[in-house]
Amino acid sequence: MKALISIVLLLLTYSSLAIESVAPMPFAAADTELMIPVEGGKVYVRVNGGLDKGDIPVIFLHGGPGLRHNSLAGLLGLADERPVILYDQLDGGKSDQPNDPKNWRMERFILELEAIRKALGVDRFHIVGHSWGSAIALEYSVKYPQRVASTVLAGTFISTPHWVADANILVNEAPKATQRLLSACESNSPPSEQQCEKAFTTLYSKYYRSPPTSLERSIYDTKTGGESLNLAIYNGMWGPSEFSSTGTLTNYNAVPLLNKIDGNKTLFMIGQYDSARIDTVQDFVEKTPGAELAVIPGGAHGFLSDRPLISEAVLRSWFRRNEPSH
């Protein structure tokens, strides 16, 4: 109970910080854009802020697999204190999309991130991984600890068995009619696409919220172009269903890595209504000595874009506390 009260009080403090002191500059144009060679092709990277000023940058890793950086561009207000690096993983967004299954390996995604660091001439950075991106962030932080100022595992996905178990708990909490329809949609003889879409929308309206798209975001998406999700890599690595995995990630489990990361530099971050359930993430925190947990009030799985003001305030404070001068 004390831990829960501490979390709530922490959130209220962060909420006040966000409202009073954060002046976001969402979806600003990039100061620098590059196509950086990696195994399998070239990836799109954009930077706001000067990398030569000595401030420790932050790099954001989007979810998916097969999504793009766009939803994270609403956090560019952080660039008033440090360089902000966004990129599209191979087979997503503005990066090359060879759609070659041999590229769909965790080790390649880790090396992709390291190639970006080297190409930008960055010594160390803060890493923020969201959803699938949190798995890459954890793995990279364990492999290259000397390159990591801190690690944020947001909307934490680090284990397929845990994720699938949580997804099915959420289904079981849905109305019985929705449960029956979702079960039918997963069968070999599903109902119409419209019926299934309605059932999924009913379930995900709580856990995957999509607030009205701002004009800035709409303009940014139009300029960026491309599909928001590459189904080839998504289905290849995860599968067509949210409630079970049939792709290459079916048996993925990085929980054993939690005792290998520096917990004192690790923040778990989820939304109040996140599909990354708090019970599961609290268990991850307990397996990571010294780690902290932040819960964003009112946020769902996409809280970094659903609740950008509070998310930015939490991240701003976290980065400051994990730098030599603080």
Nearest to 168 by CA among 279, 275, 95: 275
Q: Is the pLDDT of residue 161 over 50?
A: yes
Is 274 noted as a catalytic residue in this protein? yes
Q: What is the pLDDT of residue 285?
A: 98
Name which of 131-135, 175-179, 270-274, 308-312 the model is least confident about: 175-179
Q: DSSP characters for 162-210? A: HHHHHHHHHHHTS-HHHHHHHHHHTSSS---HHHHHHHHHHHHHHHS--
- pLDDT score of 76 more than 60: yes
C-alpha angle 204/209/213, rounded to 5°?
135
User: Does residue 192 carry a catalytic annotation?
Assistant: no
Q: Which of 91, 96, 274, 306 is catalytic?
A: 274
pLDDT on residue 135: 98
Q: Is the pLDDT of residue 197 over 60?
A: yes
CA distance 25 to 255: 35
More confident of the two residues 191 and 85: 85
Q: 83: how many CB neighbours lie within 10 A of its CB?
A: 23
Residue 264 clears pLDDT 80, i.e. is over it: yes
For residue 147 the two structure tokens come to 């390159």
* Mean pLDDT score, 154-182: 91
Sign (positive/negative) of CA torsion 43, 46, 50, 54? negative
Higher pLDDT, 10 or 287: 287
Highest mean predicted confidence (pLDDT) among 26-30, 85-89, 188-192, 202-206: 85-89
The one catalytic residue among 301, 305, 306, 311: 301
In one-letter notation, the amino acid at residue 208 is Y
**Of the listed 71, 95, 131, 245, which one is catalytic?**
131
- CA 174 – CA 201 distance, rounded (Å): 12
At 16, the pLDDT band (50, 70, 90 cuts) reads very low
* 3-class secondary-structure state, position 62: coil
Domains of the chain, CATH where assigned: 2-165+229-321 (3.40.50.1820)
User: Of the segments 144-148, 195-199, 205-209, which one has the largest average pLDDT value?
Assistant: 144-148
- The residue that leads in pLDDT, 2 or 181, is 181
Whether 131 is catalytic: yes
Structure-block tokens of residue 185: 């949609």
What does the pLDDT average to over 163-189? 87
Mean pLDDT in the chain? Answer: 88
